[in-house]
Amino acid sequence: MATQPDRKAQANRKVAMIASAMALAMLGLGYASVPLYRLFCQATGFNGTTQRATAAQAAGVRAAARMITIRFDANVSPGMKWIFRPEQVTQDGRIGERKMAVFYARNTSDHAIVGHAVFNVTPEQTGAYFHKIQCFCFNNQRLEAGQEVRMPVIYYVDPDMLKDKNASDIEEITLSYTFLPAADAKG
């Protein structure tokens, strides 16, 4: 038969093991939260996160009669010596129609710079319906000193947006990009 001190020691070990397991679980959740949040945003369009579509998926989309205006916004991180802008500030098209927008970038520095574009759309509820087929934002972009490039984005707005009571009356979507120095690449 276990004595009182033995029972106390067993109870203390059990509490310590449970507390340790909880601490490890919280640490693991902390590390997993960023990728899980990113996956959630990509799946739902939450926070203006756009969707990715293949050319085959886009081919199955039929354009609706309703028109929509897409406004393009381009920004560069402070200190990053690039000029970055859309060639066209707005573009009109039918919902479901595949469109192409082109952005211009130039490295004004005397050395190569690798950039990564982060993006979102507003209003936020349109993120689930804004599909990119091809985009410079899918990969890092390396511009040599003085190099200029034109970068296309091929996209469409999913006609299912017209069935969403929170998004069906939207007449304009803003697609915004900000170029940042790529963290994992050197110039």
Backbone angles phi, psi at 106, to 5 degrees: -140, 135
Structure confidence at residue 30 (pLDDT): 60
Output the pLDDT for position 8: 78
DSSP symbols for 86-101: ESSSEEEEETT--EEE
Convert the pLDDT of each residue in 16-35 to its tens digit.
Answer: 787 777 767 666 556 554 44
What token pair was written down for 93?
A: 């098209």
> What CA–CA distance (Å, rounded) separates 129 from 62?
14
Fold designation for 47-181: Ctag/Cox11 (Pfam 04442) (2.60.370)
Q: Are 70 and 45 in contact (CB under 8 A)?
A: no
What's the pLDDT score for residue 134?
Answer: 93
The pLDDT tens digits of the residues spanning 131-164 come to 999 999 999 999 999 999 999 999 999 999 999 9
What does the domain layout of the chain look like in residue ranges? Answer: 4-44, 47-181
Strands lying side by side in the sheet with 141-143: 90-94, 67-76, 172-181, 113-122, 141-143
**Whole-number average pLDDT of the chain:** 84
- pLDDT tens digits, one per residue of 34-56: 444 444 444 444 444 567 777 77
Q: What is the pLDDT of residues 85-140, one digit of tens each?
A: 999 999 999 999 999 999 999 999 999 999 999 998 999 999 999 999 999 999 99
Confidence at 178, pLDDT banded by 50, 70, 90 = very high
Is the torsion defined by CA of 130, 133, 134, 138 positive or negative? positive
Quick one: DSSP state of residue 131? E
Task: Please indicate, yes or no, whether the overall pTM of this predicted structure exceeds 0.85.
Answer: no
Cα(184)–Cα(143) distance, integer angstroms? 15
The reported pLDDT for the residue numbered 45 is 43
| Contact partners, residue 47, CB within 8 Å, separation at least 6 | 41, 120, 124, 127
